[in-house]
Amino acid sequence: MNRVFVYGTLRRGERNHGQIAGALLLGPARAIGYELLDMGPYPGMRLGRGVVHGELYAVDDARLAQLDEFEGHPHLFTRTELTLADGSRAFSWLWNGPPRGTHITSGDYAARAGVR
């Protein structure tokens, strides 16, 4: 099984959660050393000085490949293995392009979108 950290529209209550629904939710998680950008229809995470809040899931190889396709890996977003705040490792998708949109200072897309 692969551990994946999701921070935007794949989270529970968000419009693309169906892409990961049915996967094992391991719980909330945080990624330190990243920042979150609000790019309109979706957020983008990139290296930075903040904390990004999200959810941690366990997915099989087939679901990981499906998520890569959904995220536009490797062109739009790049799947990267990162270290979470608790020291564990997980895959996530980092924005591949130049900075755009507005910085989500809370690091929590769901809170910004009024879901949580």
The secondary structure of the chain as a DSSP string is -EEEEE-STTSTTSTTGGGTTTSEEEEEEEEEEEEEEE-SSSEEEEEEEEEEEEEEEEE-HHHHHHHHHHHTTTTSEEEEEEE-TTS-EEEEEEE-S---SEE-TTS-HHHHTT--
Of 14, 35, 55, 71, catalytic: 71
Is 71 one of the catalytic residues?
Answer: yes
Q: List the catalytic residues.
A: 71
